[in-house]
Amino acid sequence: MAKELDTSIQYLSGVGPKRAVLLQRELGIETLSDLIHLYPFRYIDRSGITPIAQVAPDLALVQLQATVVSRALLGPGGAIVSQDTNPIHWGAVKRLSVIVEDATGRMEMVFFKGVKWNYQRLAPGSTFIFFGKPQEFGGRMNIVHPEVDAPQDGALSQGTLTGVYPSTEKLRTGGITGKVMCKLQSAALALCLPEIQETLPEYVLRDRGLVSLPYALRNIHFPKDSYALQKASYRLKFEELFFLQLSLLKQKYVRSRGERGLPMPKVGPDFHACYNALPYNLTGAQQRVIKEIRADLMSGHQMNRLLQGDVGSGKTMVAVLSCLMAIGNGFQTCIMAPTEVLAQQHYANIQKYLKPTAVQCALLTGSTPQKERRAIHAALEDGSLGILVGTHALLEDNVVFRNLGLAVIDEQHRFGVEQRSKLWSKGPGIPPHVLVMTATPIPRTLAMTLYGDLDVSVIDEMPPGRKPVQTMCIGQNRRSAMYKFMREEIARGRQVFVVFPLIFESEKMDLQNLEQGYEEIVRAFPLPDYKVAIVHGQQSNEEKNFNMSAFVAGRANILVSTTVIEVGVDVPNASVMVIESAQRFGLSQLHQLRGRVGRGAEKSYCILVKDVKTTKEAQQRLDLMCATEDGFEIAEQDMKMRGPGDLEGTQQSGLPISLNIASLAKDGALLSEARAYAGQILDADPSLSDPRNVPLLRELRKDKYEIKDYSKIS
């Protein structure tokens, strides 16, 4: 690799060892290459001068050329600090007020920091360019902490658009201001641009109408004009998304060509028996997904399919019918769930579906007694057990299948890759087909990326008969009315969830917060008329299961918990979900929690209780929850609001490469184009051995595309 690009950032003029540590710690920048790949996230147009008379508080940023009229040093409470003493009592000064004027009027510049330096610099009679956000205070326009330049070296000579880079408080205090960052970028580009190697083949640049990489890098940092910036931005975004998809599709290509799958040509009598006995028709979406799975099982290649479906859309039914197809071809199957409660629930539902068939099904979890375990192991080995439902216990070495043909994994993001690879090895030499199910609706663009090497199926319609959940948002002042409503629902035989967020990083404080909430509920719903159960992360599994079971069985009217209940708990009799401090939850979490009610025949309610201090963004989330129940719409909005980095409430570090400029939230159309184009190239040259594709192969071999080949797992 080129030597300048690898140079440590500390040797760049204006950095040095101290600032280098700061840049590394705050922004992860170690080399010049890292620096020039840190792109501005917005641009400021500094091409024009605004007359003071036209400055208004609703303008985002203004640039003025004005002359200093007077300056005043102010102490606490606005008292004037004398400028006549020598030396001036700087310790008594809280702020500096500078009055400036141009031909159209006067306004004030205010400084709370760097008071002495700015005081000495801004002498009456001198003219400067001031740049900043105007506001109105006490009937007069001012700018707090404007950028100040002398007219000759001012922004006007720097081209029109100035980049604004990601920054932190520590960087600013360490002297790395926006202006310094621009200087560093300029110095780094001067050194690196001559060495930049083109990453895309000539024909790709031509096909897609892309500018060269050196042109793009120069104009993303210092755009000649807005047209050049647009071309640069398009080139860099396309390249990022294209390589991301090329690396994923190449894996998928290798696998679908090379990985043999267990052939399953038949459907079998058990499938028909179960299907024909269903008390309702499957939705069109369920039928479509079953056809897609059937085609995979018949293809002779290993199935690796992600099944996305909102809470309650009927994924379990699809999983059971898929298992029955495998059983119809003489294979065994397993369904793995992330928690014991969920595994028990799956087992109970599946037993009902299997009544009209001859298929044997068993449940294996950490708490299965030894005697039952032995019977299960024996039935697995002689092949008489068709479906094994369980938790991580399925992965233990002594769980041996005679011929595992299909593994269904529920709520995939809760399983580590190593755990899933164990399932892989339980197949009869040829790996089993894998169906991954998730109830977290993932926006299409993110699914194409996180699961780009899996085929994705979506159940996007709800079974008939599910009543919409009425969602409302209330303030703390409505608490007594809410308790009254909860009592009315309990009197009608219903049950209530009350969920508290994990607010503090410290488990101790979270527990305290939860316990205070629990005590308040117990006071409002006292024994013997009401029973309140509590579930949280600090309890032992026995305690958790005991309290949870009490609620599931209807022995407790109210379940107070942290988000432990987010995944899959099914209590058809629960008709009210109360979410405390709802503004602290992300959208997909709120949606998951709401999905816990509305599972029975009763009208259900979700009450979002917000704190007194709720930000504008949080209020937008709560409003969206009240406006729609469509999980996919919520997921799309969630990604737009929060970015893809933090979806599902869990840090989504699953992206195969980190994106510097493209956004999965905003560049969905470009992502689809890039994926289709990458597919075209691989269709023509699957191993990228064509001499024209040398740059692509070279780029894919870089560390950042080292996506561990988990394709053999799921």
Query: In this predicted model, what pLDDT tens digit does every residue of 59-99 receive, in sequence order?
Result: 888 899 999 999 999 998 888 998 888 888 898 999 999 99
User: 591 and 511, same structural domain?
Assistant: yes
> Does any domain span residue 29?
yes
User: 544 and 527, same structural domain?
Assistant: yes
Among 169, 195, 221, give the residue marking a domain's end.
Answer: 195
- Domain region containing 183: 3-44+177-195
> Does any domain span residue 259?
no
Which uninterrupted H or E stretch holds 561? strand 558-561
User: 484 and 424, same structural domain?
Assistant: no
User: 475 and 383, same structural domain?
Assistant: no
Under a CB-based contact definition with an 8 Å cutoff, are residues 697 and 200 in contact? Answer: no
Q: Locate tokens 């709802």: which residue?
A: 582
Among 158, 186, 207, give the residue marking a domain's end.
Answer: 158
pLDDT of res. 678: 93
User: 478 and 606, same structural domain?
Assistant: yes
Number of domains, the chain: 4
User: 408 and 355, same structural domain?
Assistant: yes
364 closest CA partner among 378, 376, 352: 376
Among 415, 438, 461, give the residue marking a domain's end.
Answer: 438
pLDDT of res. 647: 37
Burial class of 312 by CB neighbour count within 10 A (0 to 12, 13 to 18, 19+) = middle
Q: Which two tokens stand for residue 271?
A: 């499938």
pLDDT of res. 634: 81
User: 424 and 475, same structural domain?
Assistant: no
pLDDT of res. 376: 95
User: 547 and 600, same structural domain?
Assistant: yes
Exposure letters 36-49 (e unless 16+ CB within 10 A, then b): bebbbeeebebeee
243 closest CA partner among 643, 654, 684, 688: 688
User: 479 and 413, same structural domain?
Assistant: no
- Amino acid sitting at position 425: S
User: 499 and 423, same structural domain?
Assistant: no
Q: Which residues of the chain have pLDDT under 70?
A: 1-2, 152-159, 254-259, 412-421, 424, 427-428, 444, 450-453, 465, 503-510, 564-569, 642-657, 665, 703-714
> Does any domain span residue 243?
no
CA 702 to chain centroid, in Å, comes to: 25
pLDDT of res. 651: 31
For the domain that residue 109 is a member of, what is the CATH number? 2.40.50.140
User: 531 and 392, same structural domain?
Assistant: no
> Does any domain span residue 246?
no
> Does any domain span residue 141?
yes
Query: What DSSP designation does 139 have?
Result: T
For the domain that residue 425 is a member of, what is the CATH number? 3.40.50.300
> Does any domain span residue 657?
no
Q: Locate tokens 């960087």: which residue?
A: 171
Distances (CA, A) of 387 to 204, 359, 433, 434, 435: 49, 8, 14, 14, 14
Using CA atoms, how far apart are residues 356 and 351, in angstroms rounded to an integer? 10
Q: Which two tokens stand for residue 202?
A: 């000539």
User: 87 and 25, same structural domain?
Assistant: no
- Amino acid sitting at position 378: A
Task: Find out whether the peptide bond into 87 is cis, omega within 30 degrees of 0.
Answer: yes
Under a CB-based contact definition with an 8 Å cutoff, are residues 453 and 426 in contact? Answer: no
> Does any domain span residue 56?
yes
> Does any domain span residue 208?
no
DSSP-derived secondary structure for 473-495: EE-GGGHHHHHHHHHHHHHTT-E
Under a CB-based contact definition with an 8 Å cutoff, are residues 682 and 253 in contact? Answer: yes
Q: Where are the alpha helices (DSSP H) in 209-268?
A: 213-221, 226-258
For the domain that residue 17 is a member of, what is the CATH number? 1.10.150
pLDDT of res. 12: 94
pLDDT of res. 463: 75
